[in-house]
Chain A
């Protein structure tokens, strides 16, 4: 009993329980809708793990939401609610396209320049939010929601504008191939590359059938850097102090306004990086007219929530989320169940994670009851 209580008090346990409950509720929904839950979940896991290319695609799908999740989680640790990751992501993608289409340098220069352009795009959006909050006290949720729409229409404006619009399409020109961040993009499609890959069945599949790119490595690296920044650096100490208690931080001589701006700049940079890496790393390497948000930023909110705002947790939460999103497609194909079921499942998981504060309380009860028995 005691051991059970102890285990339940760990945050990771609550998260896993929440995920489990998400599956249970989804099963109920599936049964109610007339589908076999075993078969559906089978299809889901099949769609995630069955082939090397599936796994690869899950990772590719997870990359941007790990980064936007990291953006939200980071802001949250500093006391800010960054609901603007969506707009910052779009700003990053737009900036990367603006530069990547016009510029054609050797890859060693082109890639950093294009990615940095995206980072700056996100940073600008984040900075606006931070500055308005620090200078005028305008709540970040208001400004960042508005910037999300500004981002959306900015993106559509760029798509429609003369020099970027690709004729007879609803998108811009793709960025120049020198910007690509896939693994060996030219070699793998060359004769020599194909010949070298052929004997290794899974490598061949992963390399040629999916956009294997460096984005995931960058995301993991960023998670580590953000963790280090938050918990080991003097800057992170300041940011967290301001996040937890502005009044005490101010009284102790910490510049509160500067730290609010800095926090939003960093959060924006992370979401912008996500947008840039999506352009450079995955087809079609361009932006298209958006009728609605693509949710790369909003899914980051869910990822950050599932991760409990832990930077490292964002990697796993992002992979889980990416897996559900990608594997969910096979449920539709194989069982015929609508993807809405998957959305319900994701929603339920997030819902239960939001409720996980209950689990330690229940654990405490369990512990008490245990103590009662001892008496």
Chain B
């Protein structure tokens, strides 16, 4: 493409090698001034690398960058900022006990006489920016007191304060609630009308459709295509991203539920602060049924899972698997009663990162006679077992059984956990946010596995903050609000709006709901 001043940024023929691994291979990106340009790709496709090159965190091995039609050498973030480029990282870089204003001017302080910081002047300037773009941030609030969505706005403000005309947003919606996402999209629009240009890195198709004008798809270090977003649908985007057709809707046969094998009655659990996070909660799951629990974060999901897995004490109530009470025992006892859990925090609870894939694969059963004899672990059996899982579950790279699990991509780490938990042949499989941070291909895979386990006659408890996921995968949809299941519906008998209303604490007027 020709170099022209019409474009805020043009990156041509960018190649980046990490050792012998080619992260980017002659990638082109042309971003028109005043547009929202999405960069779409799976985890590890190279989209973050590309943006880090633009922001000066990495140097390209070859290729050119043009800013506003002029060739630019971006050696480090400071030169990037000098070119009017600002970046909002996925993980915020804010000082928690500083105010918004202090954070924004940090490293860029306006000083008056004797080197005293002129906070007043900076504050006024910030208020000006806040008003101009409708950011609604209180410049005097402390970071630790404001929500994640607000913190993100502070990051945006920081970039604007430093004179950014082009904003790079790295996975900006990963940490936001649905409402905050909508607000962010509005802010992006007002930034555009104020003459800014935005590049948004994401793998969420819905948000691209909702926010962006143009989308560049990157796959395995190659730029696949650049398309106007209005001309394509989500499925087409997904296909280009993954490289093969992807089904966004989960295909499954109708559930054939059997007996109730898992039952919670009147469960009450206190959280760390001593407040009742789960209140009088009851639920039942049958064999061959997926119970999906929808709810806004912080309504007791975490404490519910901790009580079932015996990481936390239940104050009252019972949890029964196959008629046996398991509440307030030990995690070991729960596992022994054939309850397997895919924890939402795979790096903290799910895996021992420095351990090899094989060591992680046996973490719940290394003591069984299959793997341990006379106190010694049979390493060849352990690696053999891991090799089977790697093959059966297509964990990549193939032959990674003796590599530390830390080196695997997020999706493959999740596969290790799923493979391990399913290999326990559980009666009840609990999946908490099992697709968080995964790309489309991996999400499809995880959902397929849950359905497969359901069809194998297991009870599945799916807890997710993504309403789409619950609507798609669950056979029975329960809504958790303030620590209780407030309603439940068979799949297909309820729409998203109703669930959304219940999640927010609303009540149903109609009598169509059955309560458990």
Contacts and interface: CB of A to CB of B under 8 A. Distances in A.
Contacts of B375: 233-235
Given A253-B335, A367-B19, A368-B19, A248 B376 contact: no
Contacts of A149: none
Contacts of A247: 348-349
B61 interface: yes
B372 interface: yes
A247 B309 CA distance: 13
A234 B19 CA distance: 37
Contact of B355 (A232, A244, A253, A368): A244
Contacts of B334: 253
B302 to A, nearest CB: 13
Contacts of B248: none
A245 B377 contact: no
A248 B350 contact: yes
A255 B329 CA distance: 12
Contacts of A255: 330, 332
B165 interface: no
Interface in B1-50: 17, 19-20
Contacts of B366: 234, 237-238
Contacts of A253: 330-332, 334-336, 364
A237 B377 contact: yes
B331 A248 contact: no
B452 to A, nearest CB: 23
Given A245-B353, A250-B311, A232 B330 contact: no
B376 A233 contact: yes
Contacts of B381: none
A251 B377 contact: no
B359 A237 contact: yes
Interface in A189-246: 232-235, 237-238, 240-241, 244-245
Nearest to B360: A248
A232 B19 CA distance: 34
B95 interface: no
Contacts of B352: 240-241, 244-245, 248-249
A252 B364 contact: yes
A371 B20 contact: yes
A186 interface: no
A372 B350 contact: no
Given A247-B349, A248-B351, A251-B309, A234 B363 contact: no
Nearest to A375: B61
Contact of B17 (A244, A250, A252, A371): A371
A249 B352 CA distance: 8
B354 interface: yes
Nearest to B350: A248
B379 interface: yes
A361 to B, nearest CB: 13
B367 interface: yes
Contact of A248 (B348, B371, B377): B348
A262 to B, nearest CB: 13
Nearest to B349: A251
B343 interface: yes
Contacts of A244: 352-355
A254 B365 CA distance: 10
Contact of A241 (B343, B350, B363): B363
Nearest to B62: A375
B376 A232 contact: yes
A244 B334 CA distance: 23
Max chain B CB contacts within 10 Å: which of A233, A237, A244?
A: A237
Nearest to B362: A237
Contacts of B364: 252-253
Contacts of A238: 366
Interface residues of B, number: 34
Interface in A244-298: 244-245, 247-255
A251 B330 contact: no
Interface string B81-114: 0000000000000000000000000000000000
Given A244-B354, A248-B351, A371-B20, A234 B367 contact: yes
A245 B376 contact: no
B309 to A, nearest CB: 7
A20 B37 CA distance: 54
Interface in B314-358: 330-332, 334-336, 341, 343, 348-355
B363 A252 contact: yes
A251 B377 CA distance: 20
Max chain B CB contacts within 10 Å: which of A234, A255, A371?
A: A234
A241 B516 CA distance: 40
Interface in B419-462: none
Max chain A CB contacts within 10 Å: which of B20, B355, B363, B379?
A: B363
B331 A252 contact: yes
B377 A241 contact: no
B377 A232 contact: yes
Interface in A19-64: none
B215 to A, nearest CB: 31
A241 B355 contact: yes
Interface in B362-396: 363-364, 366-367, 371-372, 375-377, 379
B379 A232 contact: yes
Interface string A334-375: 000000000000000000000000000000100110011001
A238 B362 CA distance: 11
A235 to B, nearest CB: 7
A237 B19 CA distance: 33
Given A251-B309, A375-B61, A233 B377 contact: yes
A348 to B, nearest CB: 29
Contacts of B62: 375
A244 to B, nearest CB: 5
Interface in B249-307: none
Contacts of A241: 352, 355, 359, 363
Contacts of A371: 17, 19-20
Max chain B CB contacts within 10 Å: which of A240, A241, A249?
A: A241
Given A251-B331, A372-B61, A375-B61, A234 B377 contact: yes
A241 B332 CA distance: 15
A249 B371 CA distance: 17
Contacts of B353: 244-245
Contacts of A250: 311, 331
Contacts of A254: 332, 363
Given A245-B353, A247-B348, A234 B372 contact: yes
Nearest to A253: B332
Contacts of A252: 331, 335, 363-364
B509 to A, nearest CB: 42
Contacts of B19: 364, 367-368, 371
A60 to B, nearest CB: 34
Contacts of B355: 240-241, 244
B408 to A, nearest CB: 15
A251 B350 contact: yes
A95 to B, nearest CB: 28
A251 B351 CA distance: 10
Nearest to A251: B349
Given A249-B363, A372-B61, 14 more contacts: A232-B376, A233-B375, A234-B375, A235-B375, A240-B355, A241-B355, A248-B350, A251-B311, A252-B364, A253-B330, A254-B363, A255-B332, A367-B19, A375-B61
Nearest 9 interchain pairs by C-beta: A253-B332, A252-B363, A234-B372, A251-B349, A253-B331, A245-B352, A244-B352, A253-B335, A247-B348
5 contacts: A232-B379, A233-B377, A237-B359, A248-B348, A255-B330
Interface of B: 17, 19-20, 61-62, 309, 311, 330-332, 334-336, 341, 343, 348-355, 359, 363-364, 366-367, 371-372, 375-377, 379
Interface of A: 232-235, 237-238, 240-241, 244-245, 247-255, 364, 367-368, 371-372, 375
